[in-house]
Structure 1
């Protein structure tokens, strides 16, 4: 069995040109699989492996607390291995052909509480051009729910603080107009009028980007991520925070306060409303937590 595993790994490396990390994952998965069928199922030949043996192994992984994603990866490794054996005529059947990977549970997005959002948004005090920029970015993200990738692609001409909206283009080139509230509009106006020009470099052409870094160039996603982590630490926010957290919080808080699901879908730029519906599940979970925490007979 081990000899065939070596041949399979060589095939995946040379013929399939598989990435190193993927190869290591396949090898690790298959070693545990072969150990199981040899020592637990007492199978002494790959020709004797049956579908039931594979099902037992997957059940064993589940009992070990492995996630659906990890088990699905094992299934992919096992399928590829048995297909290879069949092509090489090392076996006369493929017992993995009807094995279905488990459906991965969709992870619930992490959101901030209203108190955490307020602490984060209040932190940039607006003193100096860095404070004005950071305040405008955070207020805009929470006001619109746009992606960070969309935020950094906004040009000055895409903002209309007088009418209260921004023009956004997604990475699939879909355009949408999103309203912004007074707080975000005021923060943007202060940044554009009193902060942005301090980022403009005298030695470089003026960038059309709305948000600039200290070199006078368009702010990058990595640059924003560093700013967000620094501000979250200063605000004392212990919750898991990613560049997408304010987007998740925007959608969840809107729905919690009775917003129409279709309107939220439009603002988020979701092509399928089922993507937006995950936030309704999240609000129900949060409501249940509140009920269990505060109802005297819960």
Structure 2
């Protein structure tokens, strides 16, 4: 095979494994980067272990890529060559016998603190007053706050929320079917009765104006609300409330996980809610829950206990 057939690989990941759009785009980008390296250095098949090691040095020393980026590019490339070898045994993977160690600094999540969350939710009261004078201009803000509340209590990824269809939400709006990474489905619950009521009213309105297969959340022109559009709304809200660093959907996901851990929810339940395949991914929220640690220490009151 004289060239890198990355399009066939990406299509195979989409059709056979149900890989999501964002991951497919990352695969294509990773393989285009290697294809450029291969052309520049006039590499031909069969590639060798030394070619892979040279590519690693290229990413690290010439492109100055971050460790996480280097790891992702190599993992994608390894998957591609395994896929190719499976279809053509005459082209073995050059990763055979390759051992590359990449140290990735573990970054702690940055949840939104409780006071900031309270300030965000208080904006709903401001909108209720404004509805009387500017009803149309406040509709989008109402929907934005509704979505924020859903992110806080469910820990959904923003793509999971914006990809919801009307039929994915139960009649009483207490639960919804969510499609996560790898197109895996999971059930997510909306526990708060007041939020359920607001969510139910919103869904009733959407059902009157769209089919069950219609997107649940719409933008200003009546099309499916894109994740990027919602991020822009959060930037505007951040600027208005003076929140820095600015709000992002994933910070609400971090907040949902951290708050649940702080309130004593079993970590495996948090894992199921977030749709994490590996418990290790969820365990990081135990480390950042300093609020819960402070409360536990206060309750224990060790010195006072020793006096008696």
Query: Normalised by the size of structure 2, how large is the TM-score?
Result: 0.59
Unaligned ranges ≥5, structure 2: 1-35, 45-54, 75-96, 132-137, 304-308
Distance 1:115 1:30, change over 3 A: closer
SS for the counterpart of 2:237 is helix
Q: Aligned partners of 1:119 and 1:27: how far apart in 2?
A: 43
Q: Is the 8 A contact 1:159 1:167 kept in 2?
A: yes
SS for the counterpart of 2:111 is coil
Which one of the candidate residues 213, 217, 229 is aligned to 2:235?
229
Equivalent residue number for residue 114 of structure 1: 114
Q: Is the 8 A contact 1:135 1:187 kept in 2?
A: no
Shift of 1:135: 2.0
Equivalent residue number for residue 40 of structure 2: 13
Which one of the candidate residues 257, 272, 280 is aligned to 1:274?
280
Q: Aligned partners of 2:218 and 2:120: how far apart in 1?
A: 21
Equivalent residue number for residue 184 of structure 1: 195
Q: Is the 8 A contact 1:252 1:279 kept in 2?
A: yes
Q: How does 1:253-292 map to 2 (within 5 A)?
A: 253-284=259-290, 287=293
Q: Is residue 29 from structure 1 mapped to residue 61 from structure 2 by the alignment?
A: yes
Shift of 1:132: 2.7
Q: Is the 8 A contact 1:68 1:102 kept in 2?
A: no
Deviations 1:50-75 (A, max 9, x none): xxxxxxxxxxxxxxxxx9839x79xx
Distance 1:208 1:239, change over 3 A: same
**Further displaced range: 166-175 or 237-246:** 237-246
Deviations 1:242-271 (A, max 9, x none): 221100000001101111101100110111
Q: Aligned partners of 2:256 and 2:106: how far apart in 1?
A: 19
Deviations 1:26-55 (A, max 9, x none): 4993599xxxxxxxxxxxxxxxxxxxxxxx
Shift of 1:11: 6.0
Which one of the candidate residues 59, 66, 69 is aligned to 2:67?
69
Q: Is the 8 A contact 1:161 1:188 kept in 2?
A: no
Shift of 1:170: 1.1
> How many residues are paired up?
219
Equivalent residue number for residue 141 of structure 1: 151
Q: Is the 8 A contact 2:261 2:286 kept in 1?
A: yes
SS for the counterpart of 1:177 is strand
Q: Aligned partners of 2:220 and 2:63: how far apart in 1?
A: 51
Q: Aligned partners of 1:136 and 1:260: how far apart in 2?
A: 26
Q: Aligned partners of 2:234 and 2:251: how far apart in 1?
A: 10
Query: Normalised by the size of structure 1, how large is the TM-score?
Result: 0.60
Q: Aligned partners of 2:242 and 2:37: how far apart in 1?
A: 50
Q: Is the 8 A contact 1:265 1:276 kept in 2?
A: yes
Unaligned ranges ≥5, structure 1: 1-8, 18-22, 33-66, 77-96
Distance 1:123 1:163, change over 3 A: closer
Higher Cα Rg, which structure: 1
